[in-house]
Each structure stands twice: as C-alpha cells, then as structure tokens.
Structure 1
C-alpha cells in the first residue's frame, strides 16, 4: 500500500518530556489521512471566533515623538474617538519638567459587538530639552518593566488571569524636516527596535510637497538600513492569496507613513463632509489615500496586522528578552524550548525558573542568617567570659573562707583560743 494510506499511525512514548516533545514535532511521525466523510473540525475557526468575541481583545500602543507633532490628534483620528482630551495651553512662565514622563491612557471601545481594551502610552517631554542625552531611558525602562511584570505573572501558581500590558506597537513620529533622520531619532530607534515593533511615521506631512515626501522617505529608509534598525514588516504566509500579498506589499511600500491627523469635519468644494484640514488653497482629507498615508497606517495597525503585532511581540521580542533575562540569572536554556508547545516542557521550564528564584532567596537568607549567628556568637562569647571571670573570683573567695573556717575549727578542737598569740592582751607570768 502507498505510504500515508495503509500504514499504521506511529505513536510516541517517553518519560522525558523534552524527548516526547521533540519526537512529537518530528514530521516522520505524522501520518496523513484522507477523510471519507464530514467530521466537523472544520468548524474550529468559528469556535475560536466565538471565544475571541466573548473574551474581547486588548491592544497596547506607544507613541514617541517631540511635542507638537500631533501624536494625540493622530491617536484620536486612528480610533475615531476622543481618547485624548483637548490639551490646555501652558503659560510661557510655567516651569517645564526636566525629565521624560510616561503617561498611560486606557479605554474600552466597541464596534459591531467586538470589544477592544485600548491602552495608549504617551511620552511627554521627549526631545524637548537642549540636551537630550539619555532621554530615552524612561521609555526603554517602561517597556522592560512591562516585560518583567508579564514574566512574573507567568511564574505564579495561578496564571488564569494574566493581563498583557506589553507594548505591541511603537509609533515613532519623525519631524517633517525633509532632510534625514536626526541623531536623536537614530539613537532612540536603535534602543527600541529590539524591544518593540517599531513603526516610523512622518508627522504633519501636509507641510511637505509630494516630491519632498518621496525624497524624505528614501533618506529615512537609507538611514534605517545603514544603522541596521529593524522596523515592523507584515508577515508573509504560504497560503496567502494574491490579493492579500498585493495588499501587504502596498502597505509596506508606504513605510515610513506620511500622515496627517484631524478630528474635525470640513466641507470640501464639492459639498462633501470629510475629516481633514482646511487651507486657503484647498482641503487635506485624512481618509483620502491620494492626500496622505493615514489609511494605510490604520489598515496595518488595526485592520490587517494587529494580531501579527501582538504575535511578534509575544513570540520574538518578549521571548528574546525573557531568554536574556534567564541567561543572566544563570539558568541554562535549550534553544529549542521556545519552539515547543508541549505543556510538560513548559512546566519544566517554569519549574527551573522558580527553583532559580528560590535558590537566590535561599542564598540571601543564608547570608543574613550567618551574619545574625556571628553577632549572636560574639555576644554569647563575651557573656561567657564575664561569667567565667565572676565564677573564678567567687570560687577563690569561697576557698579563702573555707580555709579560715577550717583553721578556726582546728583551734577550737585543740583547745586553743581563737585569737592568735600575738593578739593576746594583758601580762604573761612566764
């Protein structure tokens, strides 16, 4: 009989979970069968759809850029909601913070019965100083702290309600200078591209002409390639149809996205009401692909690649950070562990991490215990020496008193007076 039709399916039995996972993932152990009738597992995507809609989705996006580039306006335009309230104008005399702060805003939004928990992390103060050295540290630390919090949640006994607060996408706003990336932009992108999905955008693209935007994009991509900065690219799958491939290629051809943000509706010359900005020479339409790349940015972030952004964050960025963290702790890891999905292997990995933490805590407790014991021993030694000295003194005193009493007893028994001869009073007849 031909292979895969009449041969018996192979089974894998092993007490070693890693060996079992490796054998289970071996393609030689897979037997392909043709169905003779309808079974029903083709309905699994529908089950997953119902489960996802019931559970809801979450998406965490970070916006990084200098003040005045329209970050808040673009976020409100992307999700068509007033997530950011109108900002108040600060007086010129007000003191400005000297550090980059991290602000997080969350909102529950719903569309056609699908719930989305959206969290936007803003970085006010970035790039606003004369000296911007190390201004990216609060941003990098915030991303790493979110990774650490997720790692700690994974290592707990109860992992049923783990909240994913990791940053899934970072929209980096580039000032529309028309020249090239500034040194600050290059340095920040180099610090972020290994920890977050980096998506560069050209802010306020309506200040540049089409020719200037095209040349600016080429210079930005050249700088990114020269400094070996990784930006997010949509994944390509073998089963994608030609339409999907063409759509993904069109989206990636617009990177970096030249965007314009606007929440207000304006009326065009032909009477249409659109979201955009009015100028003396005409109207910039936000949702018109001929005017800017906002539609393509929204399409990649929300409509086509949101799950890919979350998947890339979990499977690559977070796993790389996690493996580096465990290696720094001295835990030896198998490079193939992250490719396995066997629960026993994952449990073994978590047990190793837990044992490493326990060992570290045990060493620290031993050091503290030894220090306390040494201090207590010194005190006991001093007390013991004092007690020995007092005991020796009292023993010598008792010995002297015993000797005197024995001498007195001997005199009494012999009939001699208790006073010594030299101490007798009166005259002697002898």
Structure 2
C-alpha cells in the first residue's frame, strides 16, 4: 500500500528538514548530459522513395554526403548503418541511421523482409549477449532499433499487399511510423483521401503502429506550427518531402525542391508534414520510443529466447549459452594442454633416445680405445723385453757399458775415461 504524503517545507522550516529528493530530476538531467543518448532509426520502403534523402533532411545534416552539383544519392543495395554524434545545448545524441535496400522490384518478393527482420533480431541478440555476460561493461551501448520509418509509395489508393505483409512482419519487433513519400506528387484533397485509406487498411489488417502518448507540446519559433501534439497525431500517416538542396529564403536557409511551376519547402507545414513529424518524434517522444523498445519489443525477444532454451531447441537461452561456452573453452583448453603434454613427452623421449644412443656410442668408443691402448701397451712390453734380450745378448748393461771392463776394482771416475781410451789403443 502506497500513501501519498505531500510535504512542502514552510518558511520557518530549517534546511535540515528539507530532504532534497525534489532535486531528483536535476540529478537525472546531469546524468543524461554526461552519458548522452543512443537512438537508432531505420528507414524501410520500396526502391526510389527517397529514404536516404529523407534521412539527410531529418536532422539537418548530410549523413549521406551529397555536394552541390553532384549526382543524386545512389540506390542502397545492402543494409547500411552509420552513427553520428549530434550535439545541441551540451546534449549529446549518438544517432545511428540504418538505410535498407529497396524492395518490390523483383519478380518474386516473397519473404523480402527477412534480411531486415534478421538485422533487428541480431541487434537484440547482441544486446542480450552483452547484458548476460559474466564480466559485462558498465554502460552497454544501445544499438537496438528504436524506430522504423516505413515509406509508402504515393499511389493515392491505399496500402499494397506487400506493404501489409511487410508491416505485419515488423510490428512485433520495432516501433513503426508510416510515412507517405514524395508528398508533392498528390494534391491536398488526394492526400487526405490517401491517408484515410491507409488508416482504414491498417485497422482492417490489424497492423499495430507506434501510438504516440497523449501530451502537449509546441514547435517553438515555427510559423503556422501546431500548438499541441494532438494536432501532430492527426497528420498520421505523415506525408513528407525530402531534399538535399539548401537555399536562402529571406534570412533563413531551408531545404527545398524546385520545379518549373514552383518551389516546395521541406520545413513548411503548408507544403508537407515534415516539421510535424520531426516535432512529435524528436522533440516530444524520443525517450518514449527508447522505453517502448526496451520494455516491450526487447522483452518479447528476450522472453522468446528464454522459452527456446527451456524447450530444448537448438537456440539456447543466454545462461545456457554461457555454460556451453565455458565448457567448450575448458574442453579446448584441456585438449590444448594434452596436445602440448604429448608433444613435450615425445620430444623428451626422442631426446632421451638420442642421449642413450650417444652414450652407447661413447661406451663403444671407450672400449675400442681401451683395446687399442691395451694392444699398444702389450706391444710396448714386448718391445722392452726384446730390447732387454738384445742387450743381454750383446753384453751391454742397462747403462750402455760393456760387462767385461767393469770389474770389482774399477778405477775412479777421473781415471775411467783414460783407461777406456788405453783399452781402445790396446785393441788396435
């Protein structure tokens, strides 16, 4: 049970009695100023409806660069995403524009919306993966698609069957705002009839488009501007004109489309609904579009993913995916460890085998050297014995003297030489 207590400090109250939670909006404002906003707009429609040109006109910036006297923007052939940072009064807006290829030109257009649906789902899946990480960043970049401008060809009759099927496929994934392209091709009365037919088709086929909340707002500084958001909602679906040409009208630069019979001003409510669209989307409901995407479309996607995991389908919920990824990483790490251990064991065994072979070779060499040494030692001993026998046979002692002249009464060393000399002469 919640009880409302209105607390207004009196003039006699002290500062300690003022709690200060009334300052909460200022805290939120400061935080928003610090972090900025992330917003993603997707433009979808058949080929040749000026989706890229409209994107340039919406934020008064050349998202798709086009210089004066340059050829028109080429047709988009694949889903193109571009992010720019827009700053206005210190408020940062990280705006992502997603331009999709046109459809309707093929002979068979069955399921031509699949690439766009896959793109939206992939953005949800990327955010869900970041959100469910064990170590996730403090601020997750919100790249989810918050708004889809669906361009309708100005046929003057109503929605085509392809438009109906396309919006049915998108309505549960993104906020759809229908836009009538090239509004300058229909008269005022034709445009009113065309809008009524479109609203009737939306109601008949139960196509849910984004419903702008009830709130008041004004376009400040714009001549002939509606005074309430209710006036803007009455213009749904919005009929717009886009242009890359900017000229000076008086003291103001404005985007225009020039024809031989006159000039169409993009920012003139008498000519088209461009200003009303920009006011109700950007100035009044930008945050609400973010909240609806987060609280409804993203939660529906998240619930489906959880249910798929609970039913045991191939696609698992994020927690099961994390567990499977952890097991896969551990299995891969164990496999790598086993491979490295096997390689290490093989290298060690090969090294040990080489060392054993080398040891055997050294042992064999040592045995051979010992054998050779033993043989040489024997030969030396034999040679010494032969020498001794030779000396004994020659009558020479170990000192080299003859045995017969060295007697018991040998003269002193001083006379030994002389005696030897005399013996030599006597022999002669």
TM-score class normalised by the smaller sequence: 0.5 to 0.7
Q: Kindly tell me: are residues 73 and 242 of structure 1, through their superposed partners in 2, closer, same or farther at Cα, counting changes over 3 Å?
A: closer
Q: In the alignment, does 2:11 pair up with 1:42?
A: no
The equivalent residue for 2:121 is 144
Query: How far apart in 2 are the matches of 1:242 and 1:141?
Result: 36
Q: What does the per-residue CA deviation read over 1:349-372, in whole Å, with 9 as the maximum and x for residues that have no partner?
A: xxx96654466669999x99xxxx
Structure 2, unpaired ranges of 5+: 220-225, 333-428
Q: 1:104 aligns with which of 81, 105, 109?
A: 81
Q: Kindly tell me: are residues 30 and 63 of structure 1, through their superposed partners in 2, closer, same or farther at Cα, counting changes over 3 Å?
A: same
Q: In the alignment, does 2:56 pair up with 1:76?
A: yes
Q: What does the per-residue CA deviation read over 1:29-59, in whole Å, with 9 as the maximum and x for residues that have no partner?
A: 5573635453322111112111111111121
Q: Kindly tell me: are residues 173 and 354 of structure 1, through their superposed partners in 2, closer, same or farther at Cα, counting changes over 3 Å?
A: closer
Query: How far apart in 1 are the matches of 2:57 and 2:21?
Result: 40
Please say if residues 158 and 198 of structure 2, whose CA atoms lie closer than 8 Å, have aligned partners that are also in contact. yes
Q: What TM-score results when the alignment is normalised by the length of structure 1?
A: 0.66
Aligned length, in residue pairs: 312
The equivalent residue for 1:19 is none
Query: How far apart in 1 are the matches of 2:326 and 2:91?
Result: 48
Query: How far apart in 2 are the matches of 1:40 and 1:275?
Result: 47
Q: 2:245 aligns with which of 240, 258, 264?
A: 264
Query: How far apart in 2 are the matches of 1:207 and 1:242?
Result: 30
Q: Kindly tell me: are residues 281 and 143 of structure 1, through their superposed partners in 2, closer, same or farther at Cα, counting changes over 3 Å?
A: same
Q: Secondary structure at the match of 2:22?
A: helix
Q: What does the per-residue CA deviation read over 1:358-397, in whole Å, with 9 as the maximum and x for residues that have no partner?
A: 66669999x99xxxxxxxxxxxxxxxxxxxxxxxxxxxxx
Q: Secondary structure at the match of 2:264?
A: strand
**Higher mean C-alpha deviation, range 272-281 or range 66-75:** 272-281
Structure 1, unpaired ranges of 5+: 1-27, 333-351, 369-430
Q: Kindly tell me: are residues 241 and 281 of structure 1, through their superposed partners in 2, closer, same or farther at Cα, counting changes over 3 Å?
A: closer
Query: How far apart in 2 are the matches of 1:155 and 1:271?
Result: 53
Q: Kindly tell me: are residues 149 and 34 of structure 1, through their superposed partners in 2, closer, same or farther at Cα, counting changes over 3 Å?
A: same
Tell me how far 1:81 sits from its aligned partner.
0.6
Runs of 4+ in 1 over 6 A off after TM superposition: 241-246, 361-365
The equivalent residue for 1:211 is 189
Tell me how far 1:135 sits from its aligned partner.
1.0
Q: 2:148 aligns with which of 170, 188, 193?
A: 170
Tell me how far 1:279 sits from its aligned partner.
2.2
Query: How far apart in 2 are the matches of 1:125 and 1:257?
Result: 20
Query: How far apart in 1 are the matches of 2:216 and 2:166?
Result: 37
Query: How far apart in 2 are the matches of 1:271 and 1:363?
Result: 67
Q: 1:199 aligns with which of 152, 159, 177?
A: 177
Paired residues for 1:281-300 under 5 Å: 281-300=261-280
Please say if residues 266 and 277 of structure 1, whose CA atoms lie closer than 8 Å, have aligned partners that are also in contact. no
Query: How far apart in 2 are the matches of 1:156 and 1:77?
Result: 39
